[in-house]
Chains A and B, each alone.
Chain A
Amino acid sequence: MAAAAMDPNRAAVAFGRRAVPQLFEQLQQRDAPGRLRALTSLCDLVHEPERLYQTVTGGFLKQLQVLLKDEDPSVRTKTCELLHMLTSHSIGRLALLSSSLLPPLFGLLDDSSSSCRRNVHLVLNGLAQLPAGAQALLPLVPKLMLKLRQMPEEEEEEEQVLLLSTLSCCSRLDPLPALASDGVPVLGQTLTRCSPDVRREAAAVLMALSVPEDGKRQVCEEQFVLVLMVLLQDGDVEVQTNAAGVIMNIVIITTGKYLCLELNVVPVLLSLLSEKEEEEQRKRRKTLVIYCLRALTSLAEAPEGRSLLRNQLPLLERRSQDQDQDVRRAAQTAIRVVTWSP
């Protein structure tokens, strides 16, 4: 293409089927600028599904393994970007999982260049969306928790967000490794950081971690619930949703119930429910509403909670006439539990 000839940063691309193989041959050259140019052209080409398929099935991924250990950080960054493109398609993900590229990739997590690390996180995030990928990443979870603990707050916010989102996908599959490596205290710290993305992802991980009973017990300490209450009144809807999800999970056990009743979580949840919302906000708040309703349902199983909520029956009934079917169902369950008597 003319663009390739004019742009000094990109290697020339051959026509048609020959493009990808030739670029990979160029990758085996010794000099770093040549490799960088070839990689940049590859990254452009791989957007197209046909070329991606050719890359994956041509067995070129083994060459990338050598490149991952290259001394030049920009080469490593570009290779990780290429892998990130691969993870956006299913065959790419499968090929990545079945190749032996994962161990060197894990090693690159400690790389010195921050853009390289960011790209590695992008790749891991893409992989983790797939259940098989999350399964493959489970052994990495302790190392990720360690990195999270050591990461300072100010820099690399994007990395943190990506890392937390990878953790949340893995924990949804199996929360036990993350719990075993002291997930809950570390996440408690990340909950208070200033960026809303970080908070959202941290709350999502916490929600996944509080599904098993052990996690619920760990989260049921007072300072966490206080922090979650602060997050419930946060500005970002996503953060509120995730915090409500965590509360929903922890009030299932009795300790959680009584803790939340002590700390007056109920009025906060009720205020969230009773907010008037416009049409386009309705969709985004739907999950928040459902989580709040479920949390209130669990709280209503305790006698004190029931007595509190009996006064709020009109609000719940209003919600049960809502348009959305899921919201209606949740509200009806809540009403049923509140009006139950032994």
Chain B
Amino acid sequence: MALPSYSHRDPNGMYTFSSRPRPVETRSKYREPAPEQTQRQYGNIMYDRRVVRGNSLGQQPNPRQTEQSDPAAVQRQQALKRRAIARRQAREQLRTKTPDALQGRQHVDVQTELYLEELSNIIQTTDIECQTDDFMDRPATPLFIPAKSGVDAETQIEEGELFDFDLEVQPVLEVLVGKTIEQSLLEVMEEEELACLRTQQRVFQELRNNELAEVQRLQEQERRRREEKERRVAQQKEVLMKERETAEKIAARVFSQQYLAGLLPSVFTSLRNHGYFYDHVEKDIEVNFLPWLMAEVNNQLQKRYTARELLDTIIYEVTQKRLEEFRRLETDQQSPDP
């Protein structure tokens, strides 16, 4: 619903008004009781009293004070003014005028008509105002009552003739109440069902918890007993092992005692056999004296052998010499012989 005209205040404070072009509508003398916007009668603009006739260009109103703030517009205005002035001056110059008066004379305006008029610059004016009458409110249209025609007739519905309320309302009521009760029954049954299920579940859970506890208790018991048994068995085994060890130890001891009993005499015997027990003097004689004796004996014998050898060598040498001598003699004998 855009309005055809639009006016607002610029940010500069200037008031602008713009309006979509629309045909001007005729105005009636009487105000309409309600302003309707449906039918607009468009009249001929040439015969509209509100339109200005004649030249509207010369009647430029004074530029408003606010317009001078716009420099471009101001300049245009000034240019226009200058041009207008120039034009006027040009026209003035072209127009022929009466020549100026000779010296000593002056032109004077004179009235030559029969009747003299008073000429003055002051134009007598009178103000006359005129104002249209106020709009008169249109008198209300008289009610239009058409003339009576036709025949009058009356009719009336008595109570109870159309229908019986109590009878008719029953099925409707039944349906309404029935549906409501049905829905509520459903909901209640649902809740009951749920409650039943819950109780059942709970009973089951409790039983299960019970049995679970029992089972666990028995399990624990089993475990404890088993562990106890194992511990006892382990203990027993240890005892047995200890016993066995002790028996072994005893046997070992007895055996070793036995073994060691015959050890001592045999040791002594063997030592004696190996000569570890000896008579010191004997030993001493054997060790010290006898070798010395033997050594001395050896020396003596050695001396004898040396002496014998020496003798042998002497004999040998002697015989050798003799042999040589004999040989020499032989040769000497032979050589002088020939």
Where the two chains meet, the residues of A that have a C-beta atom closer than 8 Å to any C-beta of B are 1-3, 44, 47-48, 88, 129, 172, 207, 211, 245, 248-249, 252-254, 287, 290-291, 294, 297-298, 301, 326, 330, 333
Contacts and interface: CB of A to CB of B under 8 A. Distances in A.
B223 to A, nearest CB: 10
A320 B7 CA distance: 103
A252 B216 contact: yes
Contacts of B183: 44, 47-48
B217 A298 contact: yes
Contact of A211 (B201, B212, B220): B212
A44 B190 CA distance: 13
A333 B214 contact: yes
> Which of B183, B207, B220 has the most C-beta atoms of chain A within 10 angstroms of its own C-beta?
B220
Interface of B: 176, 179-180, 183, 186-187, 190, 194, 197-198, 201, 205-207, 209-210, 212-214, 216-217, 220-221, 224
Contacts of A249: 213, 216
A314 to B, nearest CB: 23
Contacts of A294: 210, 213-214, 217
Contacts of B210: 290-291, 294, 326, 330
Contacts of A291: 209-210, 213
A172 B209 CA distance: 10
B220 A253 contact: yes
Given A129-B201, A290-B206, 17 more contacts: A3-B179, A3-B180, A44-B183, A88-B190, A211-B216, A252-B217, A252-B220, A291-B213, A294-B210, A294-B217, A297-B217, A298-B213, A298-B217, A298-B220, A301-B221, A326-B210, A330-B210
Secondary structure at the B interface, as helix, strand, loop or mixed, is helix
A211 B219 CA distance: 13
Given A2-B176, A47-B190, A88-B194, A326 B207 contact: yes
A3 B207 CA distance: 47
A294 B206 CA distance: 12
Contacts of B197: 129
Contacts of B187: 47
B292 to A, nearest CB: 94
A287 B206 contact: yes
Contacts of A254: 224
A47 B185 CA distance: 10
Nearest 5 pairs of A and B residues by beta carbon: A287-B206, A248-B213, A252-B216, A294-B213, A298-B217
> Which of A172, A294, A301, A330 has the most C-beta atoms of chain B within 10 angstroms of its own C-beta?
A294
A335 to B, nearest CB: 15
